[in-house]
Amino acid sequence: MGVLGGFLLIVAIALFLVQRHHRLKLRSLNLATPSTTAELHYLQQEVAQEIGAGSLREYVKVSGRIVVDHPLLSELKRAPCVHYCMRVSREYEETVSETDSEGHTQWRTEHRSATISRNSQTIPFRVRDRYGEIEVDANGADLDTIQILDEFRPVNSPSCLTFGSFQVDVNNLSPQSGRTIGYRYQEWITPVGRQVLVVGMASDETGTLRIERPAAKGQKFFVSLKSEDRLSQDTRRALLYSTLGTAACGGLGILLILLALL
């Protein structure tokens, strides 16, 4: 019981961190000032006239469509995007032994997976609404993505793996255990042309008006593929579930540990 109780406490801590993330995201969504691109450009001019150019600092939320002159091409599918994340995993079988309390050893084959390559890339883009455009420096942002690839390829060439612009020499990988079954290729992107909600700090410190990572603590920077209403509903739901999960796992974990000590 003590071991199970300890495990539940670890789960409770993990859920608490998830709960904290959703609470901060919801707070940031409510704190940010709803703005259009035209309002932000006008505010930039007003602030420049009052206290000087480069002085604008406003935590805002803007909805619009992603536009970019030269899209990023994802590494595997070569899909146009402003952000991608890819992962290549080796799937293999390994024979393991297990000895019971009486000293009897049993052998079984387990299916396992190990990441051999992981990469991501992000470029600046613009958000366009019906009034105009504003630049977004997405460095440091939490970007929503859609999965565009989840493909398993059995072993066919033992020396080289290729997919899109990805290429790796298997012989240069670290020593591998077990029998390789094949490789799984996965990729996620933030696509060009999608409607997004951007929450971040509008600033003209560099001389160009753009939305970037806030300097203040407690203000999240994210790009969501959901509408504000949908994002708010989903975040509230996730916050509720993580709160209940934290309380349940924490309470039950403590109870089991106490029972084990009695």
Mean per-residue pLDDT for 6-15? 83
Whether 39 shows a pLDDT value over 90: the answer reads yes
CA distance 231 to 195: 13
Looking at the fold, whether 39 and 107 belong to one and the same domain comes out as yes
In a domain, 200, yes or no: yes
pLDDT confidence tier of residue 103, bands split at 50, 70 and 90: low
In a domain, 75, yes or no: yes
What integer best gives the mean pLDDT of the chain?
88
In a domain, 121, yes or no: yes
CA distance 92 to 111: 6
Q: Kindly report the CA angle at 125 between 83 and 230, in degrees rounded to 5?
A: 70
- Indicate the number of domains in the chain: 2
Q: How does strand 195-203 pair with strand 33-34?
A: unpaired
In a domain, 103, yes or no: yes
Looking at the fold, whether 55 and 177 belong to one and the same domain comes out as yes
Looking at the fold, whether 214 and 242 belong to one and the same domain comes out as no
Looking at the fold, whether 103 and 159 belong to one and the same domain comes out as yes
Whether 1 shows a pLDDT value over 80: the answer reads no
pLDDT confidence tier of residue 216, bands split at 50, 70 and 90: confident
Query: Residue 143: its pLDDT value, please?
Result: 96
Query: Residue 105: its pLDDT value, please?
Result: 74
In a domain, 210, yes or no: yes
Mean per-residue pLDDT for 199-225? 93
Mean per-residue pLDDT for 83-96? 90
Query: Residue 175: its pLDDT value, please?
Result: 63
Looking at the fold, whether 176 and 186 belong to one and the same domain comes out as yes
Looking at the fold, whether 162 and 63 belong to one and the same domain comes out as yes
Looking at the fold, whether 172 and 239 belong to one and the same domain comes out as no
Query: Residue 199: its pLDDT value, please?
Result: 97
CA distance 144 to 259: 44
Mean per-residue pLDDT for 125-147? 95
Whether 6 shows a pLDDT value over 90: the answer reads no
Looking at the fold, whether 46 and 10 belong to one and the same domain comes out as no
CA distance 134 to 41: 8
Looking at the fold, whether 14 and 42 belong to one and the same domain comes out as no
Looking at the fold, whether 27 and 41 belong to one and the same domain comes out as no
- Model pLDDT for residues 150-204, shown as the tens digit of each residue: 999 998 766 788 888 888 877 767 667 778 888 999 999 999 999 999 999 999 9
Query: Residue 53: its pLDDT value, please?
Result: 84
Q: How does strand 72-73 pair with strand 80-99?
A: antiparallel
Whether 58 shows a pLDDT value over 70: the answer reads yes
In a domain, 25, yes or no: yes
Full residue range of the structural domain in which residue 4 is found: 1-32+228-262
Looking at the fold, whether 103 and 18 belong to one and the same domain comes out as no
In a domain, 223, yes or no: no
CA distance 232 to 27: 10
Question: Would you tell me how many other CB atoms lie within 10 Å of the CB of residue 253?
Answer: 21
Looking at the fold, whether 170 and 251 belong to one and the same domain comes out as no
Of all residues in the chain, the percent with pLDDT exceeding 70 is 95
In a domain, 97, yes or no: yes
Mean per-residue pLDDT for 80-109? 83
Of all residues in the chain, the percent with pLDDT exceeding 90 is 50
Of 60-74, 165-179, 199-213, 232-246, minimum mean pLDDT range: 165-179
